[in-house]
């Protein structure tokens, strides 16, 4: 029997507001424990929450960027359960009436574009951090993170493969970073993902029982865990068993999912509207104001790059994968307005360099401005493409502008025809065997001659001229 | 003249004219507390030194010409409001040693006026009760008859005011907890409109019902207290951004011409209405008519469901509000338990009294999967109908009159093991909390056994003025407020 | 509808309360009586009636995204039953 898998993803993105969602404590990361707390986020007796308006602004932004319908009226609800990192014994979240619903984003998988639905987006507060002591039977609680605003984004179960899941997450992350509402960093915990995975016979319309996967700490792990889980479920069904609805933890060391089911009964969160917070009403004026400030979104930018610059879809996709990279590309174009070469160099040499050095585009050792000038030098025949690569590496190492490096290293291309003719003559004189081979039909030998001339001129001869002269001389 | 017998109004006059000092006044009150606290049991914490420090500061302010109506006045605060640096227990063992690092907004306001806080008063644990018998700390006795309850949950505040163990006090009201003990102790108690007074720092019982309000010796004092504590607070999202009037401006004895009062026909059908209570309230209504008010019959058709609605909504909200008492961050923890869930259970069962546990169980049940719609959902809908009853009634009248409690104070121990009967005694007061409307209780008589009887006046949202006007005129035309218990 | 012993046990667990046999019986009886009384609400026709969760008709209470004074750590931990190195300490949960 053939199966298809059904995957839904729940993402929690930390919003990068200055202060927490319900109190004025700082959201700054990495401070000593319990130094960003107050009676409100500590859940002391008698305290009350007051909503940070910016959290709503950011969530409206996200809703617009993901084509959601924004509810005119939404409510906050209490999700009740006991855990040491939850000071009030309940989390303030949204339940029956979330702020946004019925959205979608488009993802690229291979050559195909697929639309993934977004069921809902809502706001809630983060919990604190619990660390378990390895030696003693105690845990420590740090409430700095309690009350940091979270945006929960729930996808429709439209995802069918681990690759699609990865593409969805990457797109979602790029969006939150594009619109400046979250750092979207999985490793730092500002972008978290749980996956719901089930399988069903191919072509069926009834979804199978799903398992919820947790502890997925990177995009790679998400894909691996989903893949593992699909296979695990296939095996169970294949053996005639039934998949149990449960929460499973991904073990990134053993690369397996294990059941989290404890002796305790399933959670009954007893959601009810939070009486301490007023209903949230978002009128059209507010939405319009947020819309006006919305930056160009990844899909729009990609379309523009394709249309305005004539770039192929693949290039446009890569270049717009982050706002910073897209900005870099366009800054470079300001200096050298020829899209394809810029695209090639950015996607090739630059991203390669960043990858090797483990740097982000924001930390690029070569500025967009300088890269543009490098390309100008090639275009003006001042240096060859090959030499340019050397200059590029030197730029990365020293941070010097290309023109300076070319001057200092005397890399200016030789275009003096008579000078090149002299070198060509020299090379041909000492290579009679190869001339024979060439005249005999081995046209590939031309490359040997070119190579020799380049060697003699330390790579500075203009390759086009070298080729012309050689053909001329060889007939 | 016994200084501790003064009202705010009287004490303020003497302080202003420099005939007495706040330190003298405060000391007199503290001495009075020492003399009768053993009998009455009104206080959980008496803060002698802190009080005298504040009194000194008050006297300094007065000498510099900075005097407000509450400057230098010794007040008692129900132990449900957070006072910075001063133990706040909510009369629960689970918070027996909790010292808040911040002040409730109302406390901040009082301190700014240089009022003097002499101590925190006893109450039903976490405000859950109508007799003060559910305190985890001690029993409070009604100063009029020490074998009887003072009412609850602000029983300590009411008893303290009745016994002159403070000049005035603050209580809180979720289902009648200011008005009913005021009625049982022969003093004045006012529950403001929901949202009129900030709840920030008031330990939450039922968030959509709770309000802080004054328990005082006179209607004038209640108006003065309201001026001090009412007003919008940005720290409370349910606080209403409406300007606060000067509540003392309606305190004139011009009679009640132009006012219409309503008598709900359903209230005369209440079971167990004591004949003394019925008679006293009837007389009070007559008096109010004589003062010029028109009296009509109104109908509140959903009255008979009020208790049921309240006893779903209040425990539900409470079960969530009390989840924070888990032994993790503050309060009591059973340190013998080395596993988390064991610690939670043992801490909460050890720290909470039976009434609190009962309500947590009811509330959790009403919110739980499968029961939410039938209980919490349904009760919330009937609440809407109750609110509509009042809206309709207030189209025809300015205020509604009724007894505050169906009986005078009953003996300690009589109802404590019968929760449902205890709940039913809140029948007249609960609806004001459900509807969010203001309500005041003023003394209107005594039972054959000499126990106080209270008249309740409720009104439209944000129309405390009408209540105060009626209450003041009635008070000034009668002698009930002048009587004092003999301790 | 009366509440069964098992329901009391279940709800007690949900709300992290310990119950001995005697308490379970007593609570089941008392709460059962109360819930039976509450069942009178079934008589009310609430077709089309919106539920009330707030006693006032306000919306949109906000604050600006500006940092204000927080509680210094000493005060935050002052009432902690157990603390260590600036952290609150609790017993571990044994799954």
Please report residues of C whose CB lies closer than 8 A to that of B433. Answer: 55
CB B308 within 8 A of CB C38: yes
Of A33, A265, A279, the CB nearest to C87: A33
At residue C95 the predicted structure's pLDDT band, cuts being 50, 70 and 90, is low
Q: Residue holding tokens 């009811």?
A: B362
Q: Residue holding tokens 């309740």?
A: B456
Of C59, C84, C93, the CB nearest to A281: C59
At residue C93 the predicted structure's pLDDT band, cuts being 50, 70 and 90, is confident
At residue A321, the pLDDT reads: 87
What is chain C's percent helix, strand, coil content, to nearest 5? 40, 10, 50
pLDDT at B257 over 50: yes
Percent of chain A scoring above 70 in pLDDT: 99
What is the tally of helices (H) and strands (E) in chain B?
15, 11
Can you tell me the distance from the alpha carbon of B196 to that of B216, in angstroms, rounded to the nearest whole number? 18
Q: Do C81 and B434 touch (CB under 8 A)?
A: no
Q: Could you tell me the pTM of the whole model?
A: 0.91
Q: Let me know if residue B404 belongs to a domain.
A: no
pLDDT at A263 over 60: no
Nearest by Cα to A12 from A176, A191, A145: A191
Q: Do C71 and B338 touch (CB under 8 A)?
A: no
Map out the domains of chain C with their CATH numbers.
Answer: 5-42 (1.10.20)
Q: Do C51 and B237 touch (CB under 8 A)?
A: no
How many contacts, defined by CB atoms under 8 Å, are there between B and C?
Answer: 171
Q: Do A46 and B95 touch (CB under 8 A)?
A: no
CB B90 within 8 A of CB B80: yes
At residue A267, the pLDDT reads: 80
H helix intervals, B352-418: 354-367, 378-396
> Per DSSP, what are the bridge partners of residue B402?
B456
Q: Per-residue pLDDT tens for B5-38?
A: 999 999 999 999 999 999 999 999 999 999 999 9
> A439 touching C, CB under 8 A?
no
> Per DSSP, what are the bridge partners of residue B213?
B171
Nearest by Cα to A128 from A139, A113, A114, A136: A139
CA atoms within 13 A on the CB side of A402: 25
> B242 touching C, CB under 8 A?
no
Q: Which of B68, B78, B154, B169 is catalytic?
A: B78
At residue A427, the pLDDT reads: 87
Q: Do B201 and A46 touch (CB under 8 A)?
A: yes
Of C11, C19, C81, the CB nearest to B364: C11
What is the tally of helices (H) and strands (E) in chain A?
16, 17
Neighbours of chain B (3+ CB pairs under 8 A): A, C
CB B164 within 8 A of CB B2: yes
What is chain B's percent helix, strand, coil content, to nearest 5? 45, 15, 40
Which residues touch B309 (CB under 8 Å, ≥6 apart)?
B379, B382, B383, B386, B434, C41
Question: And the tokens for A141?
Answer: 């609680």
Whether B349 is catalytic: no
Give me the helix-helix angle, B464-476 and B275-290, nearest 10°.
100
Whether B169 is catalytic: no
At residue A264 the predicted structure's pLDDT band, cuts being 50, 70 and 90, is very low
Q: Let me know if residue B435 belongs to a domain.
A: no
Q: Residue holding tokens 């978290």?
A: A192
SS3 A15: coil
Comparing alpha-carbon positions, the chain A residue that sits nearest to B344 is A82
Neighbours of chain C (3+ CB pairs under 8 A): A, B
pLDDT at A475 over 80: no
- Torsion sign, CA atoms A425, A431, A433, A435: negative
Question: And the tokens for B424?
Answer: 């039913």
> Per DSSP, what are the bridge partners of residue A249?
A214, A258
Nearest by Cα to B453 from B78, B165, B151: B151
Can you tell me the distance from the alpha carbon of B231 to that of B244, in angstroms, rounded to the nearest whole number? 6
> A413 touching C, CB under 8 A?
no
Q: Let me know if residue B444 belongs to a domain.
A: no
- Angle at alpha carbon of residue A115, lines to A204 and A74, rounded to 5°: 100
Can you tell me the distance from the alpha carbon of A162 to that of A107, in angstroms, rounded to the nearest whole number? 13
Q: Per-residue pLDDT tens for B165-184?
A: 999 999 999 999 999 999 99
Q: Do B95 and A45 touch (CB under 8 A)?
A: yes
SS3 B148: strand
Pairing of β B294-298 and β B260-264: parallel
- Burial letters for A120-156: b for 16+ Cβ neighbours within 10 Å, e otherwise? bbbbbbbbbbbeeeeeeebbbbbbbbbbbbbbbbbbb
Of C11, C18, C63, the CB nearest to B361: C11
H helix intervals, A399-462: 402-408, 417-429, 432-439, 445-456
CB A99 within 8 A of CB A121: yes
Q: Let me know if residue B223 belongs to a domain.
A: yes
| H or E, element range at B348 | helix B340-351
pLDDT at A88 over 80: yes
List residues of chain B with CB under 8 Å from any CB of chain A.
81-82, 88, 90, 95, 98, 100-102, 104, 199-204, 206-208, 234-238, 316-317, 319-320, 322-324, 326, 328-330, 338-340, 344, 364, 367-369, 372, 376
Can you tell me the distance from the alpha carbon of B213 to that of B171, in angstroms, rounded to the nearest whole number? 6
Comparing alpha-carbon positions, the chain A residue that sits nearest to B84 is A39
Question: And the tokens for A340?
Answer: 């394809």
> Per DSSP, what are the bridge partners of residue A183?
none
| H or E, element range at B286 | helix B275-290
Nearest by Cα to B351 from C14, A47, C80, C17: C17
Q: Let me know if residue B431 belongs to a domain.
A: no
CB A159 within 8 A of CB A146: no
Q: Let me know if residue B470 belongs to a domain.
A: no
Whether B135 is catalytic: no
Pairing of β C83-84 and β C87-91: antiparallel
Can you tell me the distance from the alpha carbon of B40 to that of A346, in angstroms, rounded to the nearest whole number? 84
Q: Nearest-CA distance from C80 to chain A in Å?
A: 11
Domain count of the fold of chain B: 1
> A142 touching C, CB under 8 A?
yes
Q: Write the CA distances from A354 to A162, A206, A348, A416, A419, integer angstroms.
A: 27, 46, 10, 37, 39
Q: Write the CA distances from C21 to B349, B356, C8, integer angstroms.
A: 14, 18, 11
At residue A386, the pLDDT reads: 83
Q: Per-residue pLDDT tens for B182-227?
A: 999 999 999 999 999 999 999 999 999 999 999 999 999 999 999 9
Length of chain B counted residue by residue = 487
Percent of chain B scoring above 90 in pLDDT: 95
Domain range for B172 is 3-258
Taking residues A62-78, what's their average pLDDT?
A: 97
Please report residues of B whose CB lies closer than 8 A to that of C75. Answer: 101
Map out the domains of chain A with their CATH numbers.
Answer: 3-289 (no CATH), 296-408 (no CATH), 417-474 (1.10.10.410)
Nearest by Cα to A414 from A375, A466, A449: A466
CB A245 within 8 A of CB A211: yes
Pairing of β A191-201 and β B116-121: unpaired
Question: And the tokens for A434?
Answer: 């190869």
Q: Per-residue pLDDT tens for C39-61?
A: 999 999 999 999 998 988 899 99
Which of the residue ranges A269-283, A424-438, B99-113 would you say has the lowest mean pLDDT?
A424-438
Q: Do B326 and A270 touch (CB under 8 A)?
A: no
**Burial label, C13 (beta-carbon count in 10 A; 0-12, 13-18, 19+):** middle
Q: Let me know if residue B473 belongs to a domain.
A: no
Percent of chain B scoring above 70 in pLDDT: 100
Q: Do B329 and C80 touch (CB under 8 A)?
A: yes
Question: And the tokens for A106?
Answer: 């488009």
pLDDT at B374 over 60: yes
- The pair phi, psi for residue C22, each rounded to 5°, is -60, -45
**Burial label, B44 (beta-carbon count in 10 A; 0-12, 13-18, 19+):** buried
Nearest by Cα to C41 from A85, B311, B317, B347: B311
**What CATH number is attached to the domain comprising B8?**
3.90.1300.10
Please report residues of A whose CB lies closer than 8 A to that of C53. Answer: 75, 272-273, 275
Q: What is the ipTM of this complex?
A: 0.96
Q: Which of B153, B168, B169, B303 is catalytic?
A: B153
Please report residues of B whose CB lies closer than 8 A to that of A49. Answer: 237
Nearest by Cα to B81 from B72, B90, B93: B90
> Per DSSP, what are the bridge partners of residue A70?
A100
Q: Let me know if residue B246 belongs to a domain.
A: yes
Q: Do A24 and C87 touch (CB under 8 A)?
A: no
């Amino acid at each position: 029997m053939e199966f298809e898998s059904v995957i839904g993803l729940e993402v929690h993105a930390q919003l990068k507001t200055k202060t927490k969602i319900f109190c004025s404590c700082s959201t700054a990361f990495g401070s000593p424990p319990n130094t960003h707390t107050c009676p409100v986020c500590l859940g002391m007796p008698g305290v009350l929450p007051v909503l940070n308006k910016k959290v709503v602004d950011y969530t409206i932004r996200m809703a617009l960027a993901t084509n959601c319908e924004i509810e005119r009226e939404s409510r906050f609800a209490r999700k009740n359960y006991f855990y040491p990192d939850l000071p009030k014994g309940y989390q303030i979240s949204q339940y029956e009436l979330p702020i946004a619903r019925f959205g979608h984003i488009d993802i690229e998988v291979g050559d195909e574009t697929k639309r993934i639905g977004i069921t809902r987006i809502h706001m809630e507060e983060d919990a604190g951090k619990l660390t378990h002591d390895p030696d003693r039977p105690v845990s420590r609680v740090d409430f700095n993170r309690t009350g940091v605003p979270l945006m929960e984004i729930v996808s429709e179960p439209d995802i069918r493969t681990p690759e699609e899941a990865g593409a969805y997450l990457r797109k979602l992350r790029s969006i939150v970073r594009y619109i400046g509402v979250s750092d979207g960093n999985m490793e730092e915990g500002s972008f978290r993902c749980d996956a719901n995975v089930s399988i069903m016979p191919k072509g069926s319309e009834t979804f199978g029982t799903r398992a919820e996967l947790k502890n997925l700490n990177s995009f790679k792990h998400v894909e691996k865990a989903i893949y593992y889980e699909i296979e695990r479920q296939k095996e169970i069904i294949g053996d005639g068993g039934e998949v149990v609805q449960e929460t499973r933890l991904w073990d990134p060391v053993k690369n397996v999912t294990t059941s989290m089911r404890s002796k305790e009964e399933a959670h009954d969160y007893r959601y009810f509207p939070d009486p301490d917070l007023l209903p949230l009403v978002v009128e059209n004026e507010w939405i319009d104001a947020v819309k006006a400030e919305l930056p160009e979104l990844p899909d729009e930018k990609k379309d523009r790059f394709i249309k305005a610059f004539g770039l192929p879809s693949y290039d446009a996709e890569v270049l717009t994968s982050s706002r910073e990279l897209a900005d870099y590309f366009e800054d470079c174009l300001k200096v050298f307005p020829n899209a394809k070469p810029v695209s090639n160099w950015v996607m090739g040499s630059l991203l390669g360099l960043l990858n090797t050095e483990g740097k982000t585009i924001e930390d690029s050792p070569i500025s967009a401005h300088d890269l543009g000038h490098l390309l100008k030098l090639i275009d003006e025949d001042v240096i060859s493409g090959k030499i340019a690569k050397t200059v590029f590496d030197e730029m990365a190492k020293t941070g010097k502008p290309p023109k300076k490096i070319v001057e200092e290293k005397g890399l200016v291309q030789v275009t003096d025809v008579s000078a090149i003719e002299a070198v060509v003559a020299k090379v041909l004189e000492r290579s009679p065997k190869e001339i024979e081979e060439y005249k005999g039909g081995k046209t590939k030998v031309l490359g040997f001659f070119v190579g020799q001339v380049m060697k003699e001129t330390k790579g500075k001869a203009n390759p086009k001229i070298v080729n012309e002269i050689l053909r001329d001389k060889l007939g | 003249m016994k200084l501790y017998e003064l009202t705010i109004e009287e004490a303020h006059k003497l302080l202003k004219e420099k005939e007495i000092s706040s330190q003298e006044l405060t000391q007199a009150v503290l001495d009075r507390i020492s003399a009768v606290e053993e009998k009455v049991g009104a206080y959980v914490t008496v803060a002698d030194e802190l009080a005298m420090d504040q009194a000194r500061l008050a006297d300094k302010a007065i000498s510099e010409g900075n005097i407000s109506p509450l400057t230098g006045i010794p007040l008692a605060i129900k132990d449900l409001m957070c006072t910075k640096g001063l133990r706040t227990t909510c009369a629960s063992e689970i918070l027996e040693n909790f010292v808040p690092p911040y002040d409730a907004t109302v406390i901040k306001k009082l301190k700014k006026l240089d009022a003097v806080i002499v101590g925190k008063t006893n109450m039903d644990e976490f405000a859950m009760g109508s007799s003060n018998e559910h305190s985890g700390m001690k029993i409070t006795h009604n100063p009029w008859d020490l074998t009887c309850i003072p009412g609850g949950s602000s029983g300590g505040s009411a008893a303290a005011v009745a016994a002159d163990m403070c000049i005035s006090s603050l209580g809180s009201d979720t289902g009648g907890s200011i008005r009913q003990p005021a009625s049982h102790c022969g003093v004045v108690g006012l529950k403001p409109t929901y949202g009129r007074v900030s709840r920030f720092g008031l330990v939450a019982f039922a968030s959509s019902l709770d309000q802080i309000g004054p328990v005082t010796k006179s209607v004038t004092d209640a108006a003065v207290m309201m001026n001090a504590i009412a007003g919008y607070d940005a720290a409370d999202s349910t606080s209403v951004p409406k300007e606060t009037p000067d509540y003392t401006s309606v305190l004139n004895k011009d009679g009640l011409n132009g006012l219409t009062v309503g008598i709900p026909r359903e209230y005369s059908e209440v079971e167990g209405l004591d004949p003394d209570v019925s008679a006293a309230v009837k007389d009070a209504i007559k008096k109010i008519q004589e003062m010029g008010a028109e009296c009509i019959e109104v109908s509140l058709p959903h009255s008979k469901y009020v208790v049921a609605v309240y006893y779903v909504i209040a425990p539900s909200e409470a079960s969530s509000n009390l989840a924070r008492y888990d032994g993790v961050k503050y309060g009591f923890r059973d340190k013998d338990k080395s596993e988390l869930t064991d610690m939670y259970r043992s801490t909460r069962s050890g720290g909470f009294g039976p009434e609190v546990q009962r309500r947590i169980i009811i509330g959790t049940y009403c919110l739980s999967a499968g029961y939410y719609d039938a209980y919490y959902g349904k009760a919330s809908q009937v609440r809407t109908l109750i609110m509509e009853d009042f809206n309709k009634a207030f189209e025809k009248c300015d205020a509604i009159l009724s007894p505050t409690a169906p009986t005078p104070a009953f003996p300690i121990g009589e109802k404590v093991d019968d929760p449902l009967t205890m709940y039913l005694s809140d029948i007249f007061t609960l609806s004001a909390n459900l509807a969010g409307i203001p309500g005041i209780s003023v003394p209107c008589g005594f039972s054959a056994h000499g126990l106080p009887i209270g008249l309740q006046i409720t009104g439209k949202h944000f129309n405390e003025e009408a209540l105060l006007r009626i209450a003041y005129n009635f008070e000034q035309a009668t002698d009930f407020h002048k009587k004092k218990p003999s301790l | 509808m009366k509440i069964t012993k098992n329901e009391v046990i279940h709800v007690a667990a949900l709300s992290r309360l310990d119950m001995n046999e005697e308490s379970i019986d007593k609570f089941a009886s008392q709460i059962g009586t109360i819930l039976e009384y509450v069942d009178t609400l079934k008589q009310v026709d609430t077709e089309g009636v919106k539920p009330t969760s707030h006693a006032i008709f306000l919306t949109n209470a906000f604050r600006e995204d500006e940092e204000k004074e927080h509680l210094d750590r000493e005060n935050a931990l002052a009432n902690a039953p157990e603390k260590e190195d600036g952290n609150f300490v609790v017993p571990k949960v044994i799954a």
